Amino acid sequence: MAEAGIDLSTSIQYLKGIGPKRGAALQSIGIQNAGDLLYYYPRRYLDRRTITSISDLKKDDSATIVGEVVSMGIERGRKKRFRLIIEDGTGYISCVWFNGIRYVQNKFKEDQSIALYGKVGIFGNQFTMVHPEFDLLGEGQNPLKTGAIIPVYPSTEELKKVKLDSNGMMKILKNSIYPLSSQVFDYLPKELIAKENLMELPEALRQIHFCEDEKLLEQAIHRIKYDELFFYQLLLAVRKQSAKTGRVGIKFTHLGNLFKAMYKSLPFELTESQQSVLKEIQKDMAQREPMQRLLQGDVGSGKTVVALLAASVPIGSGYQSAIMAPTEILSKQHYNNAVKLFGNTDINIVHIVGGQSKSERRKLLDMVSSGEANLIIGTHALIYKDVVFHKLGFVTIDEQHRFGVEQRSEIMKKGVNPDILIMSATPIPRSLGLSVYGDLDISVLTDMPVGVRNVRSELRGSGSRKNIYEFINDKLKEGGQAFIVYPLVEESEKMDLLAAKEGYKLLSEDLLREHKLALLHGRLSSKEKENIMREFSEGEIDVLVATTVIEVGIDVPNANVMLVENAERFGLSQLHQLRGRIGRGGEKSYFIMISDAKGEAAGKRLKVICETDNGFKIADEDLKQRGYGDFFGKQQHGIPKFRLADIVTDIAVVKKARIAAFELIKNDPHLRLPANRLLRDKFMKDYAERLKFIETG
């Protein structure tokens, strides 16, 4: 029974069997009070489904085995080792430790039940696991004998020191699970629980720790995952609501003459998807709610043209449009494109960046605030305080992942709820899109302008390097330009930089000495970087030796070769982005990856790049191979760390939770209905920090 006076907010040390020492250890992993304990979920379960009998083992299986200790001891052969023999009634398996012997040798006693996890090998005719993971099981806990489902809790050294290994955690939870879980309120509205057929929360919390059967466990896990994903989707729904639905924006009901004139003057036909995306944008613009749309499309799919055409609509109605890019050089590129496209019209285009002289900046800012400037292009300098727009109606933000929610809301404040279009050249698999861009409407350019790019991709070993450089030499002599890319990661930054520098030295003194080379890397100041990029794009530099800083870069129409060293160290999406830098002028181009990575997997991985030029396919493959944490690398993606849910593998739950969350916010935008009161409290408590950038409309 519950101890008197214990509730969810009781400090953890006062729970039965805990005390100050264990309390401190639990606090070190974030369990402050009794209620937190409920959310410390098992990392796995031992039961009949997950345990393999020793007699069923096969070499190279990754298996979970439960058995009893038969014998153990230290052996001195060529190398000292500790051996443990386990038996499960169907056979024997031998576990071997070469390291940490002192630690493991005191862990076991004969007849002790243990669970083992590891890869099965066969040595001397005997099943063997080397350095397996293991959990000691308590008396009568062998699930093979009892049919029980045993939870296995994550543990740390600190917890183990105070005897809170998996078993210890289980004992603590056993005492408190009922009294504590019965105090939990289910914050999801009754109607939703019924509609989604969810287990009640207190019951789910009980089942997840002490499950009675597999079906109930599944339902419990589903409920917890649902909650995690639902609250995140609720955040996205609230964000979207406050940026869009809850606001009154500008209605651009007519495309206007400017748009029509520009459309007619295009030197090419728009692709089908460019046309349909323009229709989506036009529809958004005609609504009273401000547009919040993401435009995704591979490098070269023609996003910029779409954005510029869209920008002409508000300008035609007397408003201003703005384009914000992550770097000066990219903003300059947009500026040049705009000047070309709007060339025959009388609109005024200004370019605002950080380094302009005071007087020039003053002049430009005056044009912006008086309304004389119609199209304003620049970097984040556009969100500085002194930039005052006359009548801002539309903003395009290029390369969203460099900016983020915060900047989005900053630029929105520069006008009265202008329409926003965010452009991204990083294809995000659909499954991730719902979580990453879940607060935006999404448009995708699915086709490429025909005949624009002709890039051949090859994978080679380092044995071919000399031939490759001769080939590059030829291409340069014919007037082309080349990128040579070296990998650079933070952990081995010094070594990586050295490799790039050495490569640069060797090439400029020897193999490519007839050409002008430059070295571009992340240690250079942004001014230096911009200068090098500019010289390269103007053709003053023939070969750019670079670390991956060029990933999101500029158009150099003349660049027709890219060589990537140690290609296996790049993610597939990254390689695809790099490849997008060449062949921009329509010339036949060459993307060459050098890799000596051993093993089938690495080669197979890189072959995907040679086989397809479809960024979404590549992104899907990349996601499959690396999981979404690595997919985004160091880029912020804003998705919280869930305890149980995985936005990729649980995509079906994501979809359900998303529909439910958005519907809820649609019907009760501020969560004011009595039925949603508990939900609101819980949401505000857990997500207050993330609501910071939202002002209620």
**Which stretches of the chain bind ligand ADP, using CB under 6 A?**
268-271, 274, 297, 299-305, 425, 449, 452
Report the C-alpha gap between 463 and 450 in whole angstroms: 36
What counts of helices (H) and strands (E) characterise the chain? 24, 22
Name the residue nearer to ligand ADP (CB basis): 415 or 553.
553
* CA atoms within a 13 Å half-sphere pointing along the CA-CB vector of 516: 9
Q: Which of the listed partners (ligand ADP, Mg ion, none) does 274 bind, with a CB threshold of 5 to 8 Å by partner kind? A: ligand ADP
Q: Which does 168 bind (CB under 5 to 8 A by kind): Mg ion, ligand ADP, none?
A: none
Angle between helix 214-240 and 651-667 (nearest 10): 50
Contact 329, 353 (CB under 8 A): no
- Rounded Cα distance between 456 and 610, Å, is 8
- Residue 271 contact among ligand ADP, Mg ion, none, beta carbon within 5 to 8 Å by kind: ligand ADP
CB under 5 to 8 A by kind: which of ligand ADP, Mg ion, none does 299 bind?
ligand ADP
Q: How far is the CB of 360 from ligand ADP (least distance, A)?
A: 27
Distance of closest approach, residue 584 Cβ to ligand ADP, in angstroms? 7
**Stretch of 298-306, 388-396, 400-408, 594-602 contacting Mg ion, by CB under 5 A:** 298-306
Q: Point out which span in 114-122, 300-308, 537-545, 623-631 binds Mg ion (CB under 5 A).
A: 300-308
Residue 72 vs 323, nearer CB to Mg ion: 323
Give the shortest CB-271-to-Mg ion separation in angstroms. 15
Q: Shortest Cβ distance from residue 483 to Mg ion (Å)?
A: 17
Which H helix or E strand runs over 654?
Answer: helix 651-667
Tokens of 590: 């060459």
Residue 475 CB, shortest distance to ligand ADP, in Å, is: 21
Minimum CB distance to Mg ion smaller for 304 or for 443: 304
Task: Select 507 or 618, whichever has its Cβ closest to ligand ADP.
Answer: 618
Q: Which of 367, 256, 354 is nearest to 312 (CA)?
A: 256
Q: What letter would DSSP give residue 212?
A: S
**Other residues' Cβ atoms within 10 Å of the Cβ of residue 109:** 9
* Binding site partner of 246, from Mg ion, ligand ADP, none, Cβ cut-off 5-8 A by kind: none
Residue 303 C-beta: closest distance to Mg ion, Å: 6
Closest CA to 521 of 550, 492, 552: 550
Instruction: Tell which residue, 56, 77, 65, has the closest CA to residue 119.
Output: 65
Residue closer to ligand ADP (CB basis): 181 or 560 = 560
Task: Output 181 or 304, the one with its CB closest to Mg ion.
Answer: 304
Cβ proximity to ligand ADP, 270 vs 497, nearer residue: 270
Burial per residue of 434-470, b for 16 or more beta-carbon CB atoms within 10 angstroms, e otherwise = bbbbbbbebbbbbebbeeebebebebbeeeeeeebbe
The partner in contact with residue 270, picked from ligand ADP, Mg ion, none with C-beta cut-offs of 5 to 8 angstroms by kind, is ligand ADP
Distances (CA, A) of 508 to 237, 505, 544, 642: 55, 5, 11, 50
Q: Report the partner that residue 449 touches, choosing among ligand ADP, Mg ion, none (CB closer than 5 to 8 A by kind).
A: ligand ADP
CA atoms of 564 and 546, how far apart (whole Å): 10
Nearer to Mg ion, 129 or 395 (CB): 395
Report, in Å, the least distance between residue 306 CB and ligand ADP.
Answer: 7
Q: How far is it, in rounded angstroms, from Cα 672 to Cα 678?
A: 10
Binding track, positions 251-290, relative to Mg ion; x by CB under 5 A: ----------------------------------------
Shortest separation between residue 411's beta carbon and ligand ADP, angstroms: 19
Residue pair 161/26 in contact by the 8 Å Cβ criterion: no
Query: What, of Mg ion, ligand ADP, none, does residue 529 touch, CB below 5 to 8 Å by kind?
Result: none
Q: Closest Cα partner for 246 from 681, 659, 658, 670?
A: 670
Residue 304 in the binding site for Mg ion (CB under 5 A) = yes
Nearer Cβ to ligand ADP (129/322): 322
Q: Which is nearer to ligand ADP, 425 or 664 (CB)?
A: 425
**Sign of the four-CA dihedral 612, 615, 620, 626:** positive
Comparing CB distances to ligand ADP, the nearer of 452 and 549 is 452
Binding-site partner at residue 118 among Mg ion, ligand ADP, none, CB < 5 to 8 Å by type: none
d(C-alpha 280, C-alpha 278), whole Å:
5
Q: Which two tokens stand for residue 250?
A: 């500008």
Q: How far is the CB of 115 from Mg ion (least distance, A)?
A: 54
């890039």: which residue's tokens? 455
Q: Name the residue number minimizing CB distance to Mg ion.
A: 304
Please, what is the minimum distance in Å from the beta carbon of residue 256 to ligand ADP? 21
Subset of 597-636 contacting Mg ion (CB under 5 A):
none
Nearer to ligand ADP, 273 or 320 (CB): 273
What is the pairing mode between strands 349-352 and 375-378?
parallel
3 state DSSP class of 192: helix
Distance of closest approach, residue 33 Cβ to Mg ion, in angstroms: 51
Applying CB under 5 A, which part among 18-26, 94-102, 299-307, 572-580 lies near Mg ion?
299-307
Query: Which listed option, Mg ion, ligand ADP, none, makes contact with residue 301 (CB within 5 to 8 Å by class)?
Result: ligand ADP
Which one of Mg ion, ligand ADP, none is in contact with 300 (Cβ closer than 5 to 8 A by kind)? ligand ADP
- 330 versus 436: smaller Cβ distance to ligand ADP: 330
Q: Does 301 bind Mg ion (CB under 5 A)?
A: no
Least Cβ distance, residue 636 to Mg ion (angstroms): 22
Are 394 and 251 spatial neighbours (Cβ–Cβ below 8 Å)? no
**Span interacting with Mg ion, options 200-208, 269-277, 302-310, 388-396, rule CB under 5 A:** 302-310
Which is nearer to Mg ion, 304 or 317 (by Cβ)?
304
Burial of 646 (0-12, 13-18, 19+ CB in 10 A): middle
| Residue 451 · residue 302 · CB < 8 Å | no
Query: Least distance from C-beta 97 to Mg ion, angstroms?
Result: 56
The answer to the question of residue 424 lying near Mg ion (CB under 5 A) is no
If the CB atoms of residues 555 and 620 are measured against ligand ADP, the closer one turns out to be 555
Yes or no: say if 569 and 538 are a contact pair by the CB < 8 Å rule: no
Q: Cite the beta strand spans of 250-336 per DSSP E.
A: 292-297, 320-324
Q: How far is the CB of 684 from ligand ADP (least distance, A)?
A: 40
Backbone angles phi, psi at 412, to 5 degrees: -65, -30
Minimum Å gap between C-beta 579 and ligand ADP is 13
| Residue found by looking up tokens 């302008």 in the block | 449
What dihedral do alpha carbons 469, 474, 477, 479 form, nearest 10°? -100
Using CB under 5 A as the criterion, which residues of the chain lie in contact with Mg ion when the complex forms? 304
